[in-house]
Structure 1
Amino acid sequence: MFQILWSLIAGLVIGVIARMLLPGKQAIPLWLTVLFGIAGAFLGNGIASWIGVRHTGGVDWIRHILQIGIAMVLIAFVAPLWARRDRTKTHA
């Protein structure tokens, strides 16, 4: 249970940071931001483990940068598609 709660909190934080770092407006809902934050966290952890930097002596900065970077890529890729989807629904 705590794992699910922690994933949601981490996903929210990572997703919001990723959206703040991206230029412009990302017209995606909060639930999608959280979903991409969770995906960024899991993929970032996997890549950090693969390159051997998941657990370090201090703060795992490289792992966190990977997590936020992956979430940024996901948001940057999907936000225009989401906005286009909303435009086609209102004009149809």
Structure 2
Amino acid sequence: MGTGSIFSAILAGIVIGILGRLIIPGRQAIGWILTFVLGLVGAFLGGFLAKGLSIDRWWVVLIIQAVVAAILVAVVAGPWRARHHRSQA
């Protein structure tokens, strides 16, 4: 993996993670690093899913990646928030 690929993956992770957080209503109690990680995972899984469905339009792939990232944010933010509130009580 070259420098350009690594930079592209980092940029995609940030953008997809932010889009994923924006899709989910309300405040998520997760930090930016976790948002970035979930964005990277969402971008990878969403790209894999789009390829499996033979979708090749970049904007459709981006939407699929953002939706997958949003699902990941929703799945992680719920338990993360519950654990955070429990530790402060």
| Cα deviations by residue, 1:33-89 (Å, 9 ceiling, x for unpaired) | 0011101110111111111113x4xxx222111100000000011101111111222
Q: Among all aligned residue pairs of Structure 1 and Structure 2, give the percentage whose two residues are the same amino acid.
A: 36
Structure 1 length as normaliser, TM-score? 0.86
Number of aligned residue pairs: 87
Shift of 1:18: 1.4
**RMSD over aligned Cα, in angstroms?**
1.2
Structure 1: tracts of 5 or more residues without a match: none
**Aligned counterpart for 1:84 among listed residues 82, 85, 89:** 82
Structure 2 length as normaliser, TM-score? 0.88
| Cα deviations by residue, 1:2-61 (Å, 9 ceiling, x for unpaired) | 32222111111111111112110011010010011101110111111111113x4xxx22
Amino acid aligned to 1:83: R
Residues of 2 paired with 1:73 and 1:83: CA distance?
A: 16
Q: Secondary structure of the equivalent of 1:40?
A: helix
**Ranges of 4+ aligned residues in structure 1 off by more than 4 Å:** none
Structure with max Cα Rg: 1
Partner of 1:69: 67
Partner of 1:46: 48
Structure 2: tracts of 5 or more residues without a match: none
Partner of 1:17: 19
